[in-house]
Amino acid sequence: MAKVYVHTDIEGIAGYVFFMNTGQSMENVAHLQRMNHLLTQEVKAACTAALDWGADEVWVNDSHGFCYNILFEELPKQCQIMHGRPGCFDAWLSCFDGSVDALVSIGMHAMAGTPHAVCPHSRWHINGTLALSEATMAAALAGYHRVPCVCVSGDDQICREVNDKIPACETVVVKWGIAAQNARSLMPAAACERIYRGVTAGLQRAADIPPYVIPGPYRLNISDRDPEVTIFPEDIAGDDLWETVHRALNSTTYGHYGQDAIDDRSYRWPA
C-alpha cells in the first residue's frame, strides 16, 4: 500500500503571473476559470504519475484561497480530494499523517521578498533566523510525520529555495520569474510533461530523500507581502511543530472563520 499526498497552490503554475484570481469581481471570472483549469491539468499530471508509479491512494489537497479551485471531476477516479472552506482546524495539509508515504507539492510560489519571483508572498519566520516559504513549511510539516517531500513544482525561485533546504528533492521549474508579475513560462502541456517526469523520479527515489525535519522548540511568525512586517505582535511559541503551526494559522483572521458564511457576498477575502 502506498499513499501519495498532493499539496497544491496556484501562483506557481505555468502561465500564472497575476494575483487577481479571488473571484470577487465578475471581470475576473474568466481569468479565474482559466487558471483553475490550468492548475487542474498540472495536478492531474502529478496524480497520474503517482498512480502509474504504483500508488494505491492519491490524496489531493486544494489549498489556495478558498480551497475550491481544482476541477476535481477531471482528476483520475482513484484520487480523493480535500477542499472547501478552510479554518478552525488543521486545514493546512488536512488529513496528513504518518500513513502518507510521500508529499508532492504543485504550483508553489516563492516566499515574500524573493527577487525575480512570480507573485512572491508569505514567509514563515522560525526562531528569528530561518525563513520558509509555504512549500518548505509544507515539507517541514510532512517531515514532522517523518514523510519526505519528493517533488515540488513552481517557478525557478521556489525550486531554488527547496533545493537549498532539501537538496535531494526533485524540483520541476515550469516558469522563470522576471519580476513579481512577469515571467517566461513553459506552455501548459510541456509543464505537465515535466511534472509527470519529476513526480515519477521523486517517487522512485523516495527512500533516498530524507524527511525535512526542523528541530524545536519553535518561535513562529508570518509575513504576508512585506517580509519585514510580521502579522503577530509576539512570536507564537511551542515545542510541537504541527500544533504550533496550526495554532498560529488558526489565530489569523483569514484562518479563523468560525461559523461565518464565507460564501456570503459581504465577506471579503483579505487583499
- Contact footprint for Zn ion (CB under 5 A): 9, 64
Q: How far is the CB of 246 from Zn ion (least distance, A)?
A: 18
Q: How far is the CB of 11 from Zn ion (least distance, A)?
A: 5
Residue 57 amino acid letter: E
Q: Are 5 and 11 in contact (CB under 8 A)?
A: no
Q: How far is the CB of 10 from Zn ion (least distance, A)?
A: 5
- Whichever of 122 and 221 has its CB closer to Zn ion, that residue is 122
- Whichever of 51 and 72 has its CB closer to Zn ion, that residue is 72
Q: How far is the CB of 107 from Zn ion (least distance, A)?
A: 8
H helices of the chain, in order, are: 29-53, 134-144, 156-165, 188-204, 241-250
- Whichever of 9 and 161 has its CB closer to Zn ion, that residue is 9
Cell numbers 509544507 correspond to 138
- Compute the Cα dihedral for 111, 160, 90, 34 and give only its sign: positive
- Whichever of 39 and 206 has its CB closer to Zn ion, that residue is 39
Residue nearest Zn ion by beta-carbon distance: 64
Report the alpha-carbon angle 169-104-71, nearest 5: 150
Report the alpha-carbon angle 170-110-181, nearest 5: 125
127's grid cell: 526562531
